Structure 1
Amino acid sequence: MSKLERSCFYILLSLSLSATACNGHGGNTKEEDAILKKPPFAALTDSLNGDAGDKAGIYFRRGDLLSRNDLHELAANDYKKAWELRPDEITGLRFASTLSIISRPQEAIRLLEDCRKKFPNNTGFSNMLGDLYLQVGQTKQALQLYNDMLHADSTDFEAWYEKGLLQEKTLDTTGALASLRKAYTLQPVNTYALELAYIYALTRNAEAIDLCNEVLGKDSTHELIDPLFIKGIYYAGIGEGKQAIAQFDSCIRRDWKFTDAYREKGIVLFHQGKYAEALEVFQMTIKVSNTYADGYFWIGRCYEATGHKEEATLFYQRALALDKDFTEARERIQRLK
């Protein structure tokens, strides 16, 4: 997939899905027709109703215009017509992206599987298909897809990277490290280096420090935060609390709103038994973001550790209110009853 095509896909994928509720699948035809007869769509609609020669191209252009106006259901209809008239690569990509936006991933998957057969040299379809397999929980199919891509081209660094992320998600740490290392060797960019370093940090491997220092060495503006944060994770993992806190403080100096750095610093202090200091740090997290569930949870942990059960329960409840899936907060509430 070209950088332009991949950018288009992720921009489309990140658009608000609110249009879906307004333009449900199989919406009112009269209402749809009324929209298409109004500006800015009217001119293209008139062309389609007339003797226009390139109807596929007009459907495609109207689909793009509808998409830019968040009318994704209508856009999908136009992309479908364009695809049926002229099944080319860009139409396939745009049609599949739009199907994903309007929560029809299985249709998008079937389309992309067809596109892969029609256009085997276009890796864009494979990349998008892998993303959709993951979206619907088909991890085995995604892994097989990446293996097929790498069998066809072992230098495809994007496939190595995506495979590594999938292996990390499925807790195949050894496989993830191997795949991400291969991706970084082929394309030594910061994104790959930091993903690799993060896994090394979690596994207490000192290569995390080397990779982070390598990235920091190229940071002439001294603005990067992630390498410092990862170094902090590594030092915390091996019990070097002082060095860990130094790294988290460096993160905070570069971005005082970086809540995760406060949290990790506070956790180090908490495990050192410095509950009062930890509490002050955790309180900063909810000052920075009053919807940060982890901050409320760890304030609760500090209160629980110091015997203030009512206060602890209150903060656990606040954490759970912000994140309904916060299992540990729910368990601690039950335990304190």
Structure 2
Amino acid sequence: MKLFYWAIVILSLGACKQNSQQTAATIKTTPGKTEEETLKAAYAQYPDSASTLQNLVEYYTYNENYDAALATINKAISRDSLNDTYWDMQSIVAGLKGDTALMINGLQHAIDIIPLPKYIISLGAVFAQTKNPMALRLADALLVANKANAAVEANFIKGLYYSFTNQKDLAIPFYDKCIQLQYTFMDAYIEKALALYDLQQYQKAADVLIKAVTIQNNFDKGYYYLGRCFEKLNKKSDAIEAYQTALFYDPNYIEAQDALGKLGVK
């Protein structure tokens, strides 16, 4: 049972997807031109405009044309290699594409230019998931930097590192700290439950998820993983109900649909 994040506390990837959908929905095409041609023309006319670049990149990401998005960003970087935003955009699109090395490259360049907490958080999360102990050093740097105001994220990065290095017992206290600092931080509940699940402590994992869906009653992932726990506890009817609730909040939740199918429910 495993939940993989590329950007967890860094909402960059999700924001990029959401913005790209908005761009696709609102763009007004020039008569006789496609949306892509209109966006490319606008960017060609204003190559130093961050907004025209962003609109074009978001159009490509919305259509999952990540190579075109990266090529566009790389051209911008070639003109202004000291623009940290461009490197951050590269890391975001690389993350969407699944190119870990390029994602790290973009974040490292952005940090070299200006070490913003959001970049350090992003890089720490990627390092944690790739089992790189640099994740712990970056988390410690966030904790000692008072102005970073990133204690929740720092503890979560540490928890992720220990989870991904299969040290579940060490990970759980860091997720607890996240919850203590921000009780509505749903990712910490999920990861704590996953760690307990992997330790075969299914009832404890279920208890964590029950608390999570009580706090946020439309938390589809919480219900899905709760169903997984109920299956391990031989509570078939409860598992079915949990999966159905996950689907109520997200009708396209494929894993929940598959889980129900395996239980003989259509």
Q: Counterpart of 1:102?
A: 26
Q: Counterpart of 2:41?
A: 114
Summarize the Cα distance change of 1:320–1:103 in structure 2 as closer, same or farther, 3 Å threshold: farther
Q: Counterpart of 1:193?
A: 120
Query: Any gaps of 5 or more consecutive residues in structure 2?
Result: 1-14
Q: Counterpart of 2:111?
A: 184
Q: Is the 8 A contact 2:77 2:83 kept in 1?
A: yes
Measured in 1, the distance between the counterparts of 2:225 and 2:255 equals: 11
The TM-score with structure 2 as length reference comes to 0.83
CA positional deviation for 1:121: 3.6
CA positional deviation for 1:123: 4.0
Q: Counterpart of 1:308?
A: 235
Summarize the Cα distance change of 1:311–1:210 in structure 2 as closer, same or farther, 3 Å threshold: same
Following superposition of structure 1 onto structure 2, how do residues 72-83 of structure 1 map, counting pairs within 5 Å? none
SS of 1:239's equivalent in the other structure is: coil
State yes or no: 1:328 paired with 2:252: no
Q: Identify the match of residue 219 of structure 1 among 131, 140, 146.
A: 146
CA positional deviation for 1:234: 1.1
Q: Identify the match of residue 143 of structure 1 among 67, 70, 76.
A: 70
State yes or no: 1:152 paired with 2:79: yes
The TM-score with structure 1 as length reference comes to 0.66
CA positional deviation for 1:261: 0.9
Q: Counterpart of 1:172?
A: 99
Identity of aligned residues (%): 25
Measured in 2, the distance between the counterparts of 1:188 and 1:222 equals: 14
Measured in 2, the distance between the counterparts of 1:264 and 1:335 equals: 24
Q: Identify the match of residue 161 of structure 1 among 84, 88, 96.
A: 88
Q: Is the 8 A contact 1:286 1:295 kept in 2?
A: yes
Paired letter, 2:93: L
CA positional deviation for 1:118: 2.6
Relative contact order higher in (CA < 8 Å, ≥ 6 apart):
2
Query: Any gaps of 5 or more consecutive residues in structure 1?
Result: 1-9, 18-96
Measured in 1, the distance between the counterparts of 2:236 and 2:255 equals: 16
Q: Identify the match of residue 274 of structure 1 among 201, 207, 210.
A: 201
SS of 2:82's equivalent in the other structure is: coil
Let me know the Cα RMSD of the aligned residues.
Answer: 2.4
CA positional deviation for 1:170: 0.6
Measured in 2, the distance between the counterparts of 1:183 and 1:222 equals: 19
The Cα offsets for residues 300-326 of structure 1, whole Å up to 9 and x where unpaired, read as 111100212222112111112211222
Measured in 2, the distance between the counterparts of 1:312 and 1:191 equals: 37
CA positional deviation for 1:295: 1.3
Measured in 2, the distance between the counterparts of 1:300 and 1:292 equals: 13
Summarize the Cα distance change of 1:151–1:279 in structure 2 as closer, same or farther, 3 Å threshold: same
Summarize the Cα distance change of 1:148–1:206 in structure 2 as closer, same or farther, 3 Å threshold: same
